[in-house]
Chain A
């Protein structure tokens, strides 16, 4: 709250704007103030040769009538501009009933990602030294490396949410992301790959151990491609490595359980709560509370406390990810999943950190159980069709599995399947759950939000591998 005083925003002003938002008889409303900033420095051609900064400031006014939403925003935080935005948003309502907002009182939130060395206090020379160091490590890791690009981005977001029921919730949301892109050449052949790390943290995130892991991964993933062959084609058994294969959960089930799709009846999971959708032993969680995770939040963007939400419990579908509108629709508690990209966007139910709880098997046992299949080690992107349930994810790097052993590396292959079909065929769950530290970003209805994902080693069938016929 103190942060916003410098913009002339106080509790009484919020209450006056909320009163206008409610003036046509709406059920509810909120104000979402945001002041954000980011800085990045980038290295290419052996030089730290590019910097950029970005500042954003504004407020979004949302007016809710049942399932209906009126929305307006402005970058001008004068009272007149905010009142004008509230009037526009209020047009969704057509009644005369007037409810007055109660006096606003600040509400404390949990502290999941306070930075020991906040980026606001880190000078640019320190950032420059970091990206140089990453470049040096990448070149040192393998003589075949011919090009390295590195970048470091950090950002902060101050948000303030005001509600007519008196809630006034403030949060400070830091983020940082490091990136290493590497190109290598051997025997006239070139390959390129990259690695990145992201967290809600300050400078302390980049420990020598982590930095080394990122640089090594960029280089190892690149040179591994020299040996890689094209993947086979067709339906086969797939082993997903621990960590970033959480992308499978994100696409196969996560989006389909966002309650807005279910409220509209357009998700394949809409009528399946309480039913078995996966074998026993499969538990899927979407969690807003992991310390420092990229997908974590101290408050959601409606001012609600984020939960650890169990979506699938031992194979049974337990529920959806809710914002207030869908929770009211279903008559259930919110899960603290209401998120938005910025003050320019409406709230939607979104994922935070999605992962599968660990199971009994060692990763080796899982690979050894496969006669012929593929092992997925590194992922790029994914997509889903909510209604049909078909989803896809792109594997940057993996291996063939032949007679229980990882053999030739494979690369650049799209995997496609149907969410419920694939979940039903989870055959083994490993004991090695890992939350990936990569900088994943989820897109929905034109809005991007940071997310995390994690997975133990898992074996599934019923996935179609987009390779080349043998």
Chain B
């Protein structure tokens, strides 16, 4: 099946059925995942998959549809129903596609470098060996005997997709993905069985860390949870570890979006150009990072991907505005959703920062919690470490951190230098001079 042919045919068919605009994406993917436990391959999944999605404008009425049933007669029936469903809605001219000149590729596939050329020839045996290597690395840990259970995960995928729009845009994308992880459960007196996972993913197989590194990290994180408990409620300085910083920074996602601004559910409404964070904090949306996990040549509306400052030295510079909400809000569209988020690092390592602080909570993980985008208030369960002058003195659990995101960003006084590159959130660990924790 040629993906472009199917997408073009579907656009044409939709137009023949009465749609004045249509945008069609067709994708094909392959996935393989292996899980080993207790010396055995416990689970192996392998599949190829496909799907088609279409959004329509019929008499200025908008709808969106998807199907995995690509048999020609089923697809025709699907489209007929989709067009008919659209007609019963109310018109909204804001849903029209963006002008063709705003759409296109902002960065070449070669620069994005999201395809590992070795994927096609990778034998299943190589994946089995990768899982075995992780298991061997766990078995080689000095304290192997204290592990109650260890589970090894190895997986990879390949995705191809094309998009054809009636405004003339056509584009194709491809990517490969590889992942490796270890989950370790320990046991402590009293019956608690603290668990932790170390998981890495990358577009290129060679970019994954060594098995020994992953096994050691899973061990360290589980061991950090042994004997954990709550300490007294109060205000403490906080070092937020880079891998988990997304839980706090993610609170910004909703309030920055055009939909929440339009629905008057954003505490960031009317704040463009004003200080919303400490001057130490800068956040940029960067879509063209080679091999970046959030990299892309165009966005959800097929708008050309461009680097966009979000927060510059604490000042709010841009919202996430797609074509539709741009028209609704009378604002120029930026982009509808984030690509890579890059936080500007500082000069010192987390260790250097901690050495100078008499008493600090290092947050290493979150448990539950949520936020209110209209007020910016949040409350999250946390796990972590109590650190005095750089020395770990307690393992913490059953605590919450609460506050308003704006107050918190004001206290973000120093980003560390240790930028994390294994995620679309590229942030260093972040140091806050005071946060509200509740515990015992």
Contacts and interface: CB of A to CB of B under 8 A. Distances in A.
Interface string A445-470: 00000000000000000001111110
B50 interface: yes
B49 A469 contact: no
A147 B263 CA distance: 7
Interface in B50-92: 50-51, 61-70, 74, 78, 81-82, 84-86, 88-90, 92
B69 to A, nearest CB: 4
Contacts of B68: 55-58, 75
B385 to A, nearest CB: 15
B66 A54 contact: yes
B37 A382 contact: no
A55 B148 contact: no
A47 interface: yes
A412 B193 CA distance: 30
Given A70-B44, A149-B263, A268-B191, A414 B370 contact: yes
A424 interface: no
In this complex, the member of B69, B264, B381 whose beta carbon has the largest number of chain A beta carbons within 10 angstroms is B381
Given A47-B92, A68-B40, A183-B265, A52 B367 contact: no
Nearest to A55: B67
Q: Is the interface of A mostly helix, strand, loop or mixed?
A: strand
B375 A412 contact: yes
Contacts of B195: 266, 385-388
Secondary structure class of chain B's binding surface, majority of residues:
strand
A55 B233 CA distance: 50
Interface in A27-82: 39, 41, 44-45, 47-58, 67-75
Contact of A53 (B85, B367, B383): B85
A415 B65 CA distance: 38
Contacts of B151: 264
B166 interface: no
A322 to B, nearest CB: 17
Given A54-B67, A183-B265, A469-B233, A234 B440 contact: yes
Interface stretch (B137-145, B290-298, B303-311, B392-400): B392-400
A267 interface: yes
Contacts of B95: 49
B37 A264 contact: yes
Given A53-B65, A389-B192, A416-B381, A183 B264 contact: yes
A469 B45 contact: no
Nearest to A60: B47
A192 B66 CA distance: 31
Interface residues on A, range: 35 or more
Contacts of A68: 40-43
Contacts of B118: none
A466 B369 contact: yes
Contact of A183 (B191, B263, B400): B263
A386 to B, nearest CB: 7
A344 B51 CA distance: 13
B378 interface: yes
Nearest to A381: B370
A57 B379 contact: no
A466 B48 contact: no
B436 A387 contact: no
A50 B61 CA distance: 8
B47 to A, nearest CB: 5
A413 interface: yes
B222 to A, nearest CB: 9
Contact of A416 (B61, B64, B398): B398
Nearest to A267: B193
A50 B62 contact: yes
Contacts, number: 259
A91 interface: yes
Nearest to A125: B88
A270 B95 CA distance: 54
A355 interface: no
Interface in B128-152: 148-149, 151
Nearest to B226: A388
A266 B400 contact: no
Contact of A344 (B47, B69, B70, B263): B47
Contacts of B426: none
B225 interface: yes
B88 A393 contact: no
A238 interface: no
A469 B46 CA distance: 52
B40 A67 contact: yes
Contacts of B388: none
A442 interface: no
Nearest to B53: A54
Interface in B365-392: 367-372, 374-375, 377-381, 383
25 contacts: A48-B89, A51-B63, A52-B65, A69-B44, A149-B263, A190-B264, A265-B193, A267-B193, A268-B191, A268-B193, A271-B191, A344-B47, A344-B49, A388-B192, A388-B193, A390-B381, A391-B367, A412-B379, A414-B370, A416-B368, A416-B381, A418-B192, A464-B400, A466-B438, A467-B400
List 3 A-B pairs, minimum CB-CB distance, nearest first: A466-B400, A392-B368, A233-B438
Given A75-B69, A125-B88, A464-B230, 10 more contacts: A49-B89, A53-B81, A55-B67, A55-B69, A74-B48, A346-B43, A385-B367, A388-B195, A414-B381, A416-B367
